[in-house]
Amino acid sequence: MAKDVIIACDFPSAARTLRFLEQFEGERPYVKIGMELFYAAGPNIVRAVRDRGHRVFLDLKLCDIPNTVGRSMRVLRELGADMVNVHAFGTKRMMEAAVEGLTRPDGSRPLLVAVTQLTSTDETRMREELLIDRPLEDVVLHYAANARDAGLDGVVCSPLEAARVHARCGAGFLTVTPGVRFSDADAGDQARITTPAGARALGSDYIVVGRPITGADDPVATYRRCVKEFLGGSAT
- For residue 85, the minimal CB distance to ligand C5P (Å) is 8
- Yes or no: say if 112 and 86 are a contact pair by the CB < 8 Å rule: yes
Catalytic residue among 3, 32, 61, 228: 61
211 counts as binding ligand C5P under rule CB under 6 A = yes
Report the site for ligand C5P in 163-202 (rule: CB under 6 A).
178-179, 190
- Which one among 21, 86, 112, 209 touches ligand C5P, defined by CB under 6 A? 209
Cβ neighbourhood burial of 170 (10 Å; 0-12, 13-18, 19+): exposed
208 counts as binding ligand C5P under rule CB under 6 A = yes
Cβ neighbourhood burial of 36 (10 Å; 0-12, 13-18, 19+): middle
Residue nearest to ligand C5P (CB): 210
Residue 79 or 180 with smaller CB distance to ligand C5P: 180
Q: How far apart are CA 20 and CA 18, in angstroms?
A: 5
Residue 3 or 103 with smaller CB distance to ligand C5P: 3
Phi, psi of 180 (to 5 degrees): -110, 130
Query: Which of 172, 210, 158, 162 has the alpha carbon at shortest distance from 188?
Result: 210
Report the site for ligand C5P in 36-75 (rule: CB under 6 A).
59
Catalytic site includes residue 61: yes
Residue 11 or 79 with smaller CB distance to ligand C5P: 11
8 counts as binding ligand C5P under rule CB under 6 A = yes
Binding mask 90-119 for ligand C5P (x = CB under 6 A): -------------------------x--xx
- Which one among 156, 169, 191, 199 touches ligand C5P, defined by CB under 6 A? 156
Catalytic residues: 61
Residues of the shown chain interacting with ligand C5P in the complex, contacts defined by CB under 6 A: 8, 10, 34, 59, 115, 118-119, 156, 178-179, 190, 208-212
